[in-house]
Structure 1
Amino acid sequence: MEYRDWEILKVLHREKNLTKAAKLLFITQPALTNRLKHMQEELGTTIVTRESRGIHFTPQGEYLAQCAEEALAHYQKIKENLLNMGSTKDNEVAGILKLGVSNFFANYKLAHILKLFKQQYPHVEFKVITGWSKDVSQLVHNSDVHIGFVRGDYSCRGLLKHQLFEETICVTSKEEIVIADLPHLPRIDYRGDYLLKSVIDNWWAENFTQSAFVSIEVDQVDTCKEMVKNGLGYGILSSRTLNGIEDLNKIDLIDNKGNPILRRTWIYYHERFLELNVVRAFVQFIKYLDWKDI
């Protein structure tokens, strides 16, 4: 089986049609049919059968189609790793950097950071996956990305990590309020990362016996912030989401020992990825950034 054979199986399995597959593969249908016949003879099995509406993959064919996906993905990873281990003829770092990024970080920090890094290493390209911090940490564990930007203290067993910054969590409102009155005041709640929700819920349970009076529920922190700015209720938000907003009242959450409750942002990565020039350069770049200015 050659690389081209795996590519043919992948496209053919997706299209379930010889004519469409041949067009996408930039070959003639007879050439595709002959190549498929050769594969079946080489492997001693039937891969597809013809039907009135197209083709049908046999169980053996389904297995080979799955193998094709894995083989092509593995080959792509090998190419990327070889590129990342090398450098350009100008002796600059080059390659493809795969990043998993929490939603907040992607919206507010990432573009500026990548711009700064690109100025130093113009031959680096990026592939970025965004999501909840829990999902990003899983991407790192599974080696689906080289580096993950994660908000909150998630499990990092087997990973290296470096703290970027920390922030307080605060009760935020348009008008001045007293913490003791919170159970009776309208709250704007939003769908956030489950670890942050757990921290807030634990703080609430330690301070109140009554449930919160949630008057509005939204699915984005930015929507919650806008509701609070318009005086529709209070919100409990990470302080960095409120940067640049001066006309809101903010009261930091504290634990039962009087210490502020903090939320930290980290980068997580596998140590073996430091063998890649592009990852090593990015980690060093991130460590020495002044996060007060970002």
Structure 2
Amino acid sequence: MEIRQLRYFIAVARELSFSAAARKIHIAQPALTRQIRSLEESVGVGLLERQARGVTLTPAGKVFLQDAERILSCLEEAKHNAIKTEKGMQGELRMGVTVMLLWVKELSGLLKEFRRRYPKVMLKLNTMLSGPQINALREGNMDLGILIFPPEGEEFGRLKIYQDHLVLVAPVCSEIASNPPQCLADIRDYDFVWFDRENSPNYYDRLIGYFNQCGFTPNIVETGNDSVTMLSVVASGVGCTIVPSSTINECPAGLTVIEVVDLKSLPLDLQLVWRQDCVNPMLDNMIKVAHELVCGDDYH
């Protein structure tokens, strides 16, 4: 049984005439007759009753017609789905992002515009720190990362979508709040809440290196896994911390945000990061949308 035989049978069943069907599908009538006979032999039952002025469907033929039309419809749907997937119009795009960066309007605007253009693509957002994001990208478990300070080298492609800076956060009742520091060296003797290096090695090393350049070696007394945890610890009255300003959408109760010149001098580029060897049309479309929003032109 061949797909073309199903098409031939449907044409004859709709026209109830071999000659009319042959003209409609542009095939010689004898050839059409042979194909229908071959189909009936394959099925094992008669599908058409031949009459002097045309044909009629047998009871088995009526049932077979319904199934044949459904099969061809499914084949057409499969074809369209394959084409849409090839063009990145549908499927699943796996993205990593730290929780608090989801508040950045440039990122939320990008996700909104992508959903508008590609409504059939499911964005699977995985909240994770930058270290696990890089590992997931390298292992092929994620298509796109959204992070600060990705590793250098040609392994990854990058596109900056937003520039941030760091801010100092302390309890409102602390000495730091009443006497704001002018530079990082001014807080070298204060208790500091930070995060473990294993969570975001590249980010950790870049910041600690910059702190040291500014004459500041943090006196770390407690650690948290992410900015939310670090802010919660500080809000409980333990020390101070430094976080990207974008993570302080509205300062939590009991905390104050302090701008320090040294921190404003270190730009934090929020970047889309992907593997250069990743072949994914949906990823290409996301990069294209981001490039248009950020740069105002097409991405090639």
Provide the secondary structure at the position in 1 that maps to 2:84. Answer: coil
2:88/2:285 contact within 8 Å kept: no
- Within 1, Cα distance between the matches of 2:99 and 2:187? 28
Q: Deviations over 1:113-172 (max 9, x none)?
A: 544422332211233444221332233233333222222131342332211122112333
Aligned equivalent of 2:207: 200
- Is 1:146 the counterpart of 2:152 in the alignment? no
Identity level (%):
14
- Within 2, Cα distance between the matches of 1:84 and 1:160? 28
Matches within 5 A, 1:229-240: 229=235, 232-240=238-246
* 1:244 alignment partner, one of 238, 250, 265: 250
Superposed displacement of residue 225, structure 1: 1.9
Provide the secondary structure at the position in 2 that maps to 1:253. Answer: helix
Provide the secondary structure at the position in 2 that maps to 1:143. Answer: coil
Q: TM-score, normalization: structure 1?
A: 0.55
> How many residue pairs end up in the alignment?
202
Instruction: Give the root-mean-square deviation of aligned CA atoms.
Output: 3.6
- Within 2, Cα distance between the matches of 1:262 and 1:120? 31
Unaligned runs of 5+ in 1: 1-81
Superposed displacement of residue 278, structure 1: 2.2
Aligned equivalent of 2:180: 177
Q: Deviations over 1:176-218 (max 9, x none)?
A: 4323431222222234522232223223333447x53334433
Q: Give the partner amino acid of 1:96.
A: E
Q: Give the partner amino acid of 1:134.
A: G
2:144/2:274 contact within 8 Å kept: yes
- Within 1, Cα distance between the matches of 2:272 and 2:158? 5
2:160/2:272 contact within 8 Å kept: yes
Query: 1:193/1:103 Cα in 2 relative to 1: closer, same or farther (>3 Å)?
Result: farther
Query: 1:201/1:272 Cα in 2 relative to 1: closer, same or farther (>3 Å)?
Result: closer
Q: TM-score, normalization: structure 2?
A: 0.54
Aligned equivalent of 2:163: 166
1:86/1:277 contact within 8 Å kept: no
Aligned equivalent of 1:282: 286
Unaligned runs of 5+ in 2: 1-78, 296-300
Aligned equivalent of 1:95: 91
Q: Give the partner amino acid of 2:95.
A: L
Q: Larger radius of gyration, structure 1 or 2?
A: 2
